[in-house]
Structure 1
Amino acid sequence: MATDTASDAGTASTNEPLHVDGQSQLNDIVTENEVVLTDFYADWCGPCKMLEPVVETLAAETDATVAKVDVDANQQLAQSYGVRGVPTLVLFADGEQVEEIVGMQGEEQLRSLVGRYTE
């Protein structure tokens, strides 16, 4: 499995999750893409690991851009969105935060949530 580094995240295809490092990079992604599903996660979090293949599938199969934010590396960014637990998913549409979901979610739930904003 390929791993993204911060240096190539800007050129990564939108079919793969973009690994975000910092507020300005997230702002750019949200500004440049109509619908952005942002996964706030931690490497030590079991439910986050279970959610990872789901968000990768959504990145590949939906019109949403998926961003991943490591809360340990980006504590201020997580705090600015009120992230208290992981995983937390924040959905942006047209540059605005429209949804926030805390905890493990099924693929179908997330697919229909994304679909409300991409269709």
Structure 2
Amino acid sequence: MQTLHATSPDDYAAALTAHPRLLVDYHKDDCPGCRMLDVSLRKFAAEPAAANLVLLKVKMETLGEEFFRGLGLRQTPTLSLFADGSEATRLPGFQTPAQIAQAVARL
């Protein structure tokens, strides 16, 4: 699983356009659940379901709280799965590797 980092709204929009299967991790630095989700994402990355999937890391401190609110995000961490640029699933809160794999399988 390739990992990208959005440093601007343009980076975010470009990733949605460029990658047909995209998993977006909305997170922030001072979030314990976000650190736990990082562990889950590393474990999930080793699974076959992660093949051909791109992970986009979007940090609130970088893009801003207003950007997050504009997307309707209410908490971190939140994962979103995009298929061909459209959000297919949103998973708020901590997710286990198995929960991530289940959501990806539905894409």
Q: TM-score under structure 1 normalisation?
A: 0.78
Higher strand share: 2
Partner of 1:48: 34
- Aligned residues of 1:38 and 1:67 also touching (Cα < 8 A): yes
Contact 2:77 2:93 in 1 (8 A): yes
On the 8 A contact 1:16/1:60 being kept in 2, the answer is: no
Q: Percent identity?
A: 29
Q: Distance in 2 between matches of 1:47 and 1:93?
A: 25
The secondary structure found in structure 2 opposite 1:82 is: coil
Task: Choose from 13, 19, 24 the match for 2:5.
Answer: 19
1:73 pairs with one of 56, 62, 69: 62
* Root mean square deviation of aligned Cα: 1.5
Please give the secondary structure, in 1, of the residue aligned with 2:56.
strand
Unaligned stretches of 5+ in structure 1? 1-14
Higher RCO (CA 8 Å, separation ≥ 6 residues) = 2
Q: 1:60 Cα deviation (Å)?
A: 5.1
Question: Structure 2: any 5+ residue segments left out of the alignment?
Answer: none
Q: Take 1:30 and 1:59, find their aligned partners in 2: how far apart are those partners?
A: 19
Moved more, 51-60 or 62-71: 51-60
Runs of 4+ in 1 over 4 A off after TM superposition: none
**Number of residue pairs aligned between Structure 1 and Structure 2:** 103
The TM-score normalised by the length of structure 2 is 0.86
- Output the CA distance in 2 between the equivalents of 1:55 and 1:30: 19
Tell me the SS of whatever aligns to 1:17. Answer: strand
